[in-house]
Amino acid sequence: MGGFQQAIEAAIPALRRYARALTRNGELADDLVQDTLVRALRSEHLFHGGDIRSWLYTILTNLNRNRLRALARRPVLQAIDDNDAPELAGPEAGARDIERALASLVEDQRSALLLVVLEGLTYREVAEVQGVPIGTVMSRLARARMQIKAYLDGERPPLRRVK
């Protein structure tokens, strides 16, 4: 096995972790990682050196955006789970709150936050993955952190005025 394939194989656990955090669904995450790996292996000739993890995160992020665009065109059906009941007792309550706070973020903010906090990427690497300037990453992170803090403190999000 070549060095390129070994580097991709070494990145699989981090890709799965990031995909699971993005999608909040194990099966979707595994499909997303598989699609990422297939695309990366087919596009080896497009990789021009550098950090392979950032390149793989970029592929995964773009595939997830495409998936979300396709889902936006369909009606949303959501099953009611037993876990949806507002039980605030037990040690799991804090984790559920954080999970809901993350779910309340817009996709770009959640993605930036997960790449920095969960995967340990630098702001510059996140900017490359998301294809935006580093200042945009910093602002997305600041907004995400403020929104999560407000959610956990029980504050209602302010309404936006649209002109």
Q: How is residue 119 annotated by DSSP?
A: T
What is the enclosing helix (H) or strand (E) of 4? helix 3-23
Q: Which of 42, 26, 23, 21 is nearest to 8 (CA)?
A: 42
Q: One digit per residue, pLDDT tens: the chain, 163 residues?
A: 688 889 999 999 999 999 998 888 889 999 999 999 999 999 888 888 788 999 999 999 999 999 888 877 776 555 655 555 555 554 455 566 778 888 888 888 999 999 998 888 999 999 998 899 999 999 999 999 999 888 888 776 555 566 6
CB 16 within 8 A of CB 10: no
Q: How far is CA 101 from the centre of its chain?
A: 13
Q: What pLDDT, in 10s, does the model give residues 23-53?
A: 888 899 999 999 999 999 998 888 887 889 9
Q: How many CB atoms lie within 10 A of CB 5?
A: 13
Question: What is the distance between the alpha carbons of residues 112 and 138, in angstroms, rounded to a whole number?
Answer: 9
Does residue 132 sit in helix, strand or coil? coil
Question: What is the distance between the alpha carbons of residues 99 and 146, in angstroms, rounded to a whole number?
Answer: 15
Domains of the chain (ranges; CATH) run: 1-76 (1.10.1740.10), 88-163 (1.10.10.10)
